[in-house]
Amino acid sequence: MAKKKKKSNSKQILMIVLLLMMATGAVVVFQSGFFSRSNQPVYDSALVDSVTVTGTIRADDLNLSGKEITRINRLMSRFSLSFDSIEVNLELEDQFAPIEIENDTVLVLRLRCQAPKMEVAFWSRKVPRKRLVKHMETAVPEAAEELKWATQKSGNTVRRIYL
């Protein structure tokens, strides 16, 4: 009679352990949301600390959308090497109007970009609420260029630039 060889259970145990590890790994990867795709873009919900809104109008009164807040925050991060902070001073054109800001409400904007040893300030401008963020996106790069130009020459003692 021929002896039956005992099959090694170690291969079966190894296969079971590998399958369990792969299943556990798959659950972890898919539950983490790594592969989930969202059609909704993610926007910021608050302005960064280096952007302050002063004047009679507060940031909450503007009803900034998440997209607008994200655009302002990205603007500040893009120019964070040039400016420590940006102050946005907003007043209503009509001082006796109730503070209810619509898209076509005209605001008086004074923008001040603070650098380590100097500042770039803008004269007051009348800007409709719907163009406020776009105006900031064009004004801050302009201020950065002026700051760069003013600080290129050594021995320059300019403290404030008005645009």
β-strand pairing of 119-121 with 160-162: parallel
**With a threshold of 0.85, does the pTM exceed it?**
no
* In-domain check, residue 63: yes
pLDDT confidence band for 123 (50 / 70 / 90):
very high
List, for residues 27-48, the tens digit of each pLDDT value. Answer: 887 777 666 666 666 666 677 7
Instruction: Give 7's contacts (C-beta < 8 A, 6+ positions apart).
Output: none
What is the chain's mean pLDDT, rounded?
81
Task: Answer yes or no: is 134 within a domain.
Answer: yes
Range of the domain at 83: 51-162
In a domain, 28, yes or no: no
Q: Where are the beta strands (DSSP E) in the chain?
A: 51-55, 85-92, 106-114, 119-121, 125-128, 160-162
- In the predicted model, what is the mean pLDDT of residues 11-38? 81
Is 135 within a domain?
yes
- Our count of domains for the chain comes to 1
Tell me the per-residue pLDDT of 56-96, one tens digit each, with 9 for 90 and over.
Answer: 888 888 888 888 888 888 888 888 888 888 888 888 877 66
For the domain that residue 77 is a member of, what is the CATH number? 3.30.160
